[in-house]
Amino acid sequence: MKIPPVKGTRDFYPPDMARRNWIIDGWKKVSVRNGFEEYDGPIFEYLKMFQIKSGDEIVEQLFSFKDRGGRHLALRPEITPTLARMVNQQINSLPKPIKWFSVPRLFRAERPQKGRLREFFQWNIDIIGVDDVLADAEVIFTTVDYLRSVGLKQRDVRVKISSRKLLASSLKNVGIQETQLLSLYALLDKYSKMPGDTFKKMLSEQVMDESIAKKVINFMGSTALSEVSEIIGTNAEVEDAIQELARLKELLEQMGVWQYCEFCPGIVRGLAYYTGVVFEVHEFSQELRAICGGGRYDNLLHDFGGPRISATGMGMGDCVLGILLDERGLFKPESKELDYFVAFVDEVYRQNVIELTMKLRSAGFVTNFSYKAVKLSKQLKEASAQNAKRCIIIGEEFKSNQLVIKDMATGKQELVDYDKFLSELKS
């Protein structure tokens, strides 16, 4: 009986593993060069943690279970709650600002579809303790830094930037009540994902006043900060939010990445915990789901029992990113490569092949040999198939304590003294 993998999960055969490692190694390299330190947490947590952040409805979207002690637990669908818990535990001893990154394996119990699986990897970067839009700019810069590093150009991706602060103050300024905001956010988050007529109809069910609904639609469709005041009017809160986004743009211009970015009030981010700048990265044609998203969440640590402290961050999954890199032909995982392949002319030297192979491996060289007693020509083909740089051939010369070393790229061969060869390896 053949048992298939669970729907929404992936098997990583060696070529797939090489691609996965290529993505993750790139995430880690960019994180470190931008000053972030790596952390991780347990693969499951108390279910309550995720309910605190996302509400009771999150239970239907994750894998939860009760352990033998009757505790309600869940496989982590994200790592931000773990980050908040860990920081709160050592809040007084951790040097500020806290700049951490993680690449957790995450799980979500949802219907698998293109770019969205039940199991995936996600790159998270967070800056905690900086109450300045400069931290938001650094998160966006680091995101673009990675996208550029894998070959994605301005024509490939756009960073769409908005602000929860601007959205909330604008909605209230046109007459939306504070109590309506959360339910309205959920609808506005779907603005770019549904036909205009459908959105208007759903908006009219929440906003009865046609003039107010029209202002909301015009605001969501605006493409420049300068248009906002004309559409919804202004007050101190609106002006403060506009100035914050204007400064963010100025910082991103200084950092040399604004050409990847644009103002887009249609970016809402469905989660209620965002408090300021929010952004998403989309493939230019928007045929795929968002590549990543993030923003400022100044209340989360307090929600988990800690102090009120500023925080901003980003999460990028490997699924949509992998599809985009595939479509653009940008995957460049390193192929398997050997430093040495050790071969024999006659099976009588097989033991010598094994001994030398292990000495080379112990010295730190990637080395292999043939398991089968086949002709030298077949061993050389095996060495070539495994991308060996050099092939060591043990034959009659070994009786004189000598080895033949063949450069697999040029075909050039040289005779070397065995003892000298080993001593040079050690040095």
Q: Is 61 exposed, middle or buried (0-12, 13-18, 19+ CB in 10 A)?
A: middle
pLDDT in tens, 71-112: 999 999 999 999 999 999 999 999 999 999 999 999 999 899
Q: Is residue 316 domain-shared with residue 360, that is, in the same domain?
A: no
DSSP secondary structure of 43-101: SEEEHHHHHHHH-GGGGGGS-EEE-TT--EEEE-S-SHHHHHHHHHHTTTTS-SSEEEE
> What mean pLDDT, rounded, does the chain reach?
92
- What local confidence, expressed as pLDDT, does residue 271 receive? 62
272 and 415 in a common domain: no
Domain limit, last residue, from 264, 293, 328: 328
> Do the Cβ atoms of 216 and 170 come closer than 8 Å?
no
Please indicate, yes or no, if residue 46 is contained in any of the structural domains. no
Q: What is the pLDDT of residue 205?
A: 83
Instruction: Based on the fold, state whether residues 113 and 250 are members of the same structural domain.
Output: yes
Residues 320 and 342 in one domain: no
In a domain, 61, yes or no: no
Residue 218 shares a structural domain with residue 162 = yes
Residue 146 belongs to domain with CATH number: 3.30.930.10
Q: How many CA atoms lie within 13 A of 342 on its CB side?
A: 23
31 plus 139 within the same structural domain:
yes
What 3-state class would DSSP assign to 103?
coil
Count of structural domains within the chain: 2
Measured CA to CA, the distance from residue 349 to residue 249 in angstroms comes to: 69
Distance CA 138, CA 293 (A): 14
- Number of CB atoms found within 10 A of residue 223's CB: 11
| CA atoms of 368 and 338, how far apart (whole Å) | 7
The per-residue pLDDT for 335 is 80
Where does a domain end: 293, 328, 363?
328
Identity of the residue numbered 182: L
Range 4-13 average pLDDT? 94
Q: 6 lies in a domain?
A: no
- 52 found inside a domain: no
Measure the CA–CA gap between 193 and 207, rounded to whole angstroms.
19
Would you state the pLDDT for residue 147? Answer: 98
Residue 82, exposed/middle/buried by CB under 10 A (0-12, 13-18, 19+)? buried
Question: At 288, phi and psi to the nearest 5?
Answer: -105, 165
Q: How many helices (H) and strands (E) does the chain have?
A: 15, 17
Same domain, 354 and 223: no
Please classify residue 11 by burial: count the beta carbons closer than 10 Å to its beta carbon, then call 0-12 exposed, 13-18 middle and 19+ buried. Answer: exposed
Residues 372 and 320 in one domain: no
Q: Is residue 136 part of a domain?
A: yes
Q: 346: domain CATH number?
A: 3.40.50.800
Could you tell me if 94 and 220 lie in one domain?
A: yes
pTM of the model: 0.90
Same domain, 314 and 354: no
Q: Is 110 left (phi over 0), alpha (psi -120 to 50) or beta?
A: beta
Burial (0-12, 13-18, 19+ Cβ within 10 Å), 99 = buried
**Residue 55 placed within a domain:** no
Residue 216's pLDDT band (cuts 50, 70, 90): confident
Q: Confirm whether 51 is domain-assigned.
A: no
Residue 272 has pLDDT above 80, yes or no: no
Per-residue model confidence (pLDDT) at position 190: 81
382 plus 346 within the same structural domain:
yes
Going by DSSP bridges, is the β-strand pair 388-394/338-344 parallel, antiparallel, or unpaired? parallel
pLDDT digits (tens, 9 = 90+) for 374-425: 999 999 999 999 999 999 999 999 999 999 999 999 999 999 999 999 998 8
Q: Is residue 59 part of a domain?
A: no
- Are 163 and 287 within one domain? yes
- The pLDDT, as a whole number, for residue 57 is 73
Residue 222: give the domain boundaries.
Answer: 14-41+79-328
Residue where a domain stops, chosen among 328, 346, 369: 328
pLDDT of 209 reads 81
Structural contact between residues 188 and 199, judged by C-beta atoms closer than 8 angstroms: no
